[in-house]
């Protein structure tokens, strides 16, 4: 009798194990990055599978080059990964109506959204649907070369007026030295900050797909740029182009400490600092200032990147578990570290601070903390990052700097061309 029971029991157990294996969900996750990010994420996935043995994870990772084009093909074919590392400015490309990605709000029972700043979540929400969980956020702050400012005998500016006065003071001592260096994208975001502070409105109304500025406001938009350049606050595009087509942090005056600072993403500040030579090799965070009576700082806040769930997923709950593990679970947080920036999750930030991974005096950390403390209710549209719009700005300010366009002419031409770009992008 026992001889008959044993084979039957063994067969039953084998059938159960096969059934369990068959029922295990297999999800895919894709991301871009370097080797250290790859290894950290793979370690986190291993820990996730140990915690959730009923979920198997297939990793698809690569460098930045070609990532977007490959994802575009996958989404078009309905074959995108379940969890996708995405860029904030891809939302207009893939999800103009909010339906391009799975709505993470529907998985709020799984993903601890209480750990995130509501304003940051709103920046990745389209038509009320959360299209991505922001991993970290970044904003531009002023970072100054302490040694140069001391030599010039000028204090860090506490207002727009003092910023222009600092430019004139630098020019009076040495016309080759400037308080700041800004490339065209940085100057665009600095001007945008001034406009928000002045008028308390966003540049773009996403509900209409149109710019919000009046003709007079467009003129103010270009006038503040010209005032900053004429005050010697930062080199004109005419000066920058004389150093060739290279990044500002690789230009000789920056490396030698002749340009006194940057208005830069907190995540990139250390990169600029690392390219400086002694004794001008130390940057420190400077004060951010606002116009008298301004209600909003006009910061260009954006997620460094997001984790989204593909709209074609068959396993939304499992995908949500993976995202929450990477962003909020102690094991996932420790494995990921700072590979995707200083985490926005309050829980993750506290954990990494207690473990000594996050150093409060680090300029990257100090920069984002000071930015988050400023009023920043008016969001910047992802359309502001549209490459054609940015290129139009660059061409326009180059023409102003070369004397080919007046402020008034720029204010008349730019809105027409920018409006056409926005209209096509918003369709």
pLDDT tens digits along 314-351 = 999 999 999 999 999 999 999 999 888 889 999 999 99
Name the percent of the chain in helix, strand, coil, to the closest 5: 50, 15, 35
Q: The domain spanning residue 228 has which CATH number?
A: 3.40.190.10
Selection from 217, 214, 211 nearest residue 194 by Cα: 217
Domain count, the chain: 2
Residue 357, pLDDT above cutoff 70: yes
Query: Do both 32 and 130 map to the same domain?
Result: yes
Query: Do both 274 and 413 map to the same domain?
Result: yes
Q: What is the pLDDT of residues 121-160, one digit of tens each?
A: 998 999 999 999 999 988 999 999 999 999 999 999 999 9
Confirm whether 349 is domain-assigned. Answer: yes
Rounded to two decimals, the pTM is: 0.80
Which is more confidently placed, 385 or 107? 107
Query: Do both 103 and 235 map to the same domain?
Result: no
Confirm whether 386 is domain-assigned. Answer: yes
Query: Do both 287 and 159 map to the same domain?
Result: yes
Q: What is the pLDDT of residues 227-259, one digit of tens each?
A: 999 999 999 999 999 998 888 999 999 999 999
Query: Do both 96 and 160 map to the same domain?
Result: no
190-195 mean pLDDT? 97
- pLDDT attached to residue 17: 39
With 0-12 / 13-18 / 19 or more C-beta atoms within 10 angstroms meaning exposed / middle / buried, residue 361 is: exposed
Query: Do both 355 and 391 map to the same domain?
Result: no
Query: Do both 167 and 204 map to the same domain?
Result: yes
- pLDDT attached to residue 16: 43
Q: Between helices 407-426 and 387-401, what is the axis angle to 10°?
A: 170
Q: What is the pLDDT of residues 267-322, one digit of tens each?
A: 888 889 989 999 999 999 999 999 999 999 999 888 889 999 999 999 999 999 99
Query: Do both 253 and 400 map to the same domain?
Result: yes
Query: Do both 290 and 188 map to the same domain?
Result: yes
Residue 19, pLDDT above cutoff 80: no
Q: What is the pLDDT of residues 49-106, one digit of tens each?
A: 999 999 999 999 998 888 999 999 999 999 999 999 999 989 988 998 999 999 999 9
Tell me the CA distances in angstroms from 374 to 156, 157, 158, one per residue in order.
Answer: 18, 17, 14
- pLDDT attached to residue 362: 85
**CA 404, CA 2: separation in Å to the nearest integer?**
98
- pLDDT attached to residue 224: 98
Buried b (16+ CB within 10 A) or exposed e, 22-35: eeebebbbbbbbee
Confirm whether 5 is domain-assigned. Answer: no
Residue 12, pLDDT above cutoff 60: no
- pLDDT attached to residue 207: 82
Confirm whether 9 is domain-assigned. Answer: no
Confirm whether 339 is domain-assigned. Answer: yes
- pLDDT attached to residue 11: 45
**Placement of tokens 């990052």 in the chain:** 385
Q: How many CB atoms lie within 10 A of CB 143?
A: 26
Query: Do both 117 and 61 map to the same domain?
Result: yes
Confirm whether 370 is domain-assigned. Answer: no
Query: Do both 359 and 391 map to the same domain?
Result: no
- pLDDT attached to residue 81: 98
pLDDT band at 182 (very low <50, low <70, confident <90, very high): very high
Residue pair 129/105 in contact by the 8 Å Cβ criterion:
yes
Containing structural domain, residue 329: 25-136+303-365
**CA 167, CA 169: separation in Å to the nearest integer?**
5
**CA 60, CA 70: separation in Å to the nearest integer?**
11
399-412 mean pLDDT? 97
Q: What is the pLDDT of residues 215-227, one digit of tens each?
A: 999 999 999 999 9
- pLDDT attached to residue 22: 52
Confirm whether 19 is domain-assigned. Answer: no
Q: Are strands 55-62 and 25-32 parallel, antiparallel or unpaired?
A: parallel
Query: Do both 44 and 59 map to the same domain?
Result: yes
% of the chain surpassing 70 pLDDT: 95
- pLDDT attached to residue 198: 98
Confirm whether 371 is domain-assigned. Answer: no
Q: How far apart are the first and last CA of the chain?
A: 75
């Amino acid at each position: 009798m026992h001889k008959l029971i044993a084979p039957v029991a063994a067969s039953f157990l084998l059938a159960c194990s096969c059934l369990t294996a068959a029922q295990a969900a297999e999800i895919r996750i894709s991301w871009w990055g370097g080797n250290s990010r790859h290894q950290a994420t793979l370690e986190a996935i291993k820990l996730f599978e140990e915690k959730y043995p009923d979920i198997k994870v297939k990793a698809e990772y690569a460098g930045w080059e070609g990532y977007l084009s490959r994802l575009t093909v996958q989404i078009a074919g309905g074959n995108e990964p379940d969890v996708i590392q995405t860029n904030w400015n891809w939302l207009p490309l893939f999800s103009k109506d909010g339906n391009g990605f799975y709505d993470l709000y529907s998985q709020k029972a799984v993903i601890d959204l209480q750990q995130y700043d509501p304003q940051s979540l709103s920046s990745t929400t389209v038509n009320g649907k959360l299209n991505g969980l922001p991993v970290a956020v970044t904003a531009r702050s002023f970072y100054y070369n302490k040694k140069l400012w001391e030599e010039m005998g000028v204090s860090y500016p506490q207002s727009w007026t003092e910023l222009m006065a600092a430019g004139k003071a630098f020019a009076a001592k040495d016309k080759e030295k400037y308080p700041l260096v800004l490339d065209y994208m940085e100057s665009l975001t600095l001007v945008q900050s001034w406009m928000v502070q002045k008028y308390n409105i966003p540049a773009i109304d996403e509900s209409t797909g149109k710019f919000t500025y009046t003709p007079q406001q467009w003129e103010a938009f270009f006038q503040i740029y010209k005032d900053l350049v004429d005050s010697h606050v930062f080199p004109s595009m005419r000066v920058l182009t004389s150093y060739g087509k290279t990044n500002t942090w690789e230009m000789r005056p920056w490396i030698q400490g002749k340009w006194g600072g940057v208005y830069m993403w907190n995540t990139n500040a250390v990169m600029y600092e690392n390219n400086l030579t002694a004794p001008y090799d130390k940057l420190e965070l400077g004060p951010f200032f606002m116009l008298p009576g301004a209600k909003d700082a006009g910061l260009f806040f954006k997620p460094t990147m997001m984790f989204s769930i593909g709209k074609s997923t068959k396993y939304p709950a499992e995908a949500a578990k993976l995202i929450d593990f990477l962003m909020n679970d102690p094991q996932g947080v420790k494995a990921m570290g700072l590979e995707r920036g200083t985490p926005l999750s309050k829980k993750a930030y506290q954990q990494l601070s207690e473990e000594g991974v996050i150093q409060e005096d680090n300029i990257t950390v100090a920069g984002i903390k000071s930015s988050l403390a400023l009023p920043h209710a008016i969001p910047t549209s992802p359309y502001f990052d549209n490459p054609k719009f940015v290129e139009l700005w660059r061409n326009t300010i180059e023409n102003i700097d070369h004397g080919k366009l007046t402020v008034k002419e720029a204010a008349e031409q730019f809105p027409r061309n920018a409006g056409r770009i926005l209209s096509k992008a918003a369709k």
